[in-house]
């Protein structure tokens, strides 16, 4: 199979969430803005130097999040308020932020999109 050079602006990755007290992990699907390598490096540097927080990174580049349900099992739509609520949960925050790095490296579901 040949490689087709084409712009890809976003990418999806599965985010495994280890909910305290749950028997097995839950999975969310995050759709992230995909950056060219030079921009990724700039973002890495800004994060490393403390010029960009995890919250800023997620608010800027997370385009959609699927798989969130309320206690009744109804799907919750992705909104800034939901994102704020999720980023305040320590067991969600870290895996969600790390999924940005996975997406930029073309991991998980992202690899299948090309």
Greatest alpha-carbon pair distance for the chain in Å reads 46
Mean of pLDDT over the chain: 92
pTM for the complete prediction? 0.87
Give the C-alpha separation, 45 to 41, whole Å: 6
Segment 16-45, tens digit of pLDDT = 999 999 999 999 999 999 999 999 999 999
Residue 111 tokens, joined: 């690899």
Q: Which residues of 27-62 are buried (b: 16+ CB within 10 A; e: fewer)?
A: ebbbbbebbeeeeeeebeeebeeeebeeeebbeebb
Query: Mean pLDDT throughout 52-80?
Result: 96
Q: Is the pLDDT of residue 113 over 50?
A: no
Domain limits at 97?
Answer: 11-109
Q: Is residue 53 part of a domain?
A: yes
Query: How many Å from the N-terminal Cα to the C-terminal Cα in the chain?
Result: 12
- The mean pLDDT value for 67-92 works out to 96
Q: Is residue 3 part of a domain?
A: no
- Number of domains forming the structure of the chain: 1
Structural domain includes residue 79: yes
């Amino acid at each position: 199979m040949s490689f087709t050079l084409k712009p890809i602006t976003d990418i999806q990755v599965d985010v495994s969430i280890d909910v305290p007290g749950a028997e097995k992990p839950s999975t969310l699907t995050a759709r992230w803005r995909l950056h060219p390598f030079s921009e990724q490096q700039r973002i890495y540097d800004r994060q490393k130097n403390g010029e960009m927080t995890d919250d800023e990174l997620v608010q800027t580049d997370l385009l959609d999040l699927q798989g969130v349900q309320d206690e009744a099992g109804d799907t919750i739509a992705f909104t800034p308020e939901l994102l704020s609520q999720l980023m305040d949960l320590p067991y969600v925050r870290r895996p969600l932020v790390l999924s940005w790095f996975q997406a930029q490296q073309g991991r998980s579901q992202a690899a299948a999109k090309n």
